[in-house]
A = this chain, B = another copy of it.
Amino acid sequence: MNFCSECGERVSQKIPEGDNRLRYVCDSCETIHYQNPRVVAGSLPVSGDRVLLCKRAIEPRYGYWTLPAGFMENDETLTEAAARETEEEALAKVENLQLYTVISVPGVDQVHVLMLGDLVDDEYSAGIESLEVELFREDEIPWDQIAFRAVKMTLERYFEDRKKGVFPVYNLDIERW
C-alpha cells in the first residue's frame, strides 16, 4: 500500500495512538487503513463413498487437486459462499451443508472454512477455474497432488471420521512457514 484510498495522498506506516501495531496511515487525512485476514469458504461434496475434487486451472498450484473453495465475498454468509464456490468451480450443487473444518493459516493471513455437503444428482463438470472435476474414493485420492494443506487435513479427517460416522467441527491451525 502506497496511497490513501480515500484522498489519494501518500500513506506511511506508523503505530496509531492507542494501538500497538504498525498500520498504514494517511499522511494527509489521517485515515487508518487496517488490513485483516480473509476467509476462504468451500465445500467437501460427498456422493456415497466418493468425494468431489477439482483440478486447478489457475495459479497458485495449477494442476493440483483441491476442494471447491474461494474467497468469501461481502454480503454473503459462509454457507452461501461455500455453495457459490462449489457452483463456480465444479458446476455442482451441494445441499445439507454443515460446518466441518475451520483452519487458521496465519502465514498467508487466511481462515479456511470447509463444509461437508451432499452432492446433488451426481452432476458436476469443470468450471472456468478447473481443468477437471472428478469423484474419488478414499483409495483413489491423489494424496501427493493435493493443492493446499488445509484441503489435505480436511480430507484426512473426513475419511477417518467416516469410519466412526461422526463428523465433529475442527478448529485447526497451520503453522507459519
Are the CB atoms of A36 and B3 closer together than 8 Å?
no
Q: How far is the CA of A113 from the CA of B39 in the complex (A)?
A: 12
CB distance from A141 to the nearest CB of B (A): 26
Q: In whole angstroms, how far apart are the Cα atoms of A34 and B40 in the complex?
A: 14
Question: What's the Cα separation between A36 and B113 when bound, in Å?
Answer: 14
Q: Is B4's CB under 8 angstroms from A3's CB?
A: yes
- Among B5, B74, B171, contact of A99 (Cβ-Cβ < 8 Å): B171
List residues of chain B with CB within 8 A of the CB of A21. Answer: 73
In this complex, how many residues of chain A approach chain B with their Cβ under 8 Å: the count is: 45
Q: Is A104 an interface residue (CB 8 A)?
A: yes
- By secondary structure, the A interface counts as loop
CB-based nearest B residue for A40: B36
Asked if A106 is at the interface (CB within 8 A of a chain B CB), the reply is yes
A159-177 CB mask vs B (1 if < 8 Å, else 0) is 0000000001101010010
Q: If A37-B74, A79-B104 touch, does A98 touch B171 (CB 8 Å cutoff)?
A: yes
Within 8 A of B (CB), among A1-28: 1-11, 18, 21
Expressed in whole angstroms, the Cα–Cα distance for A142 and B175 within the complex equals 39
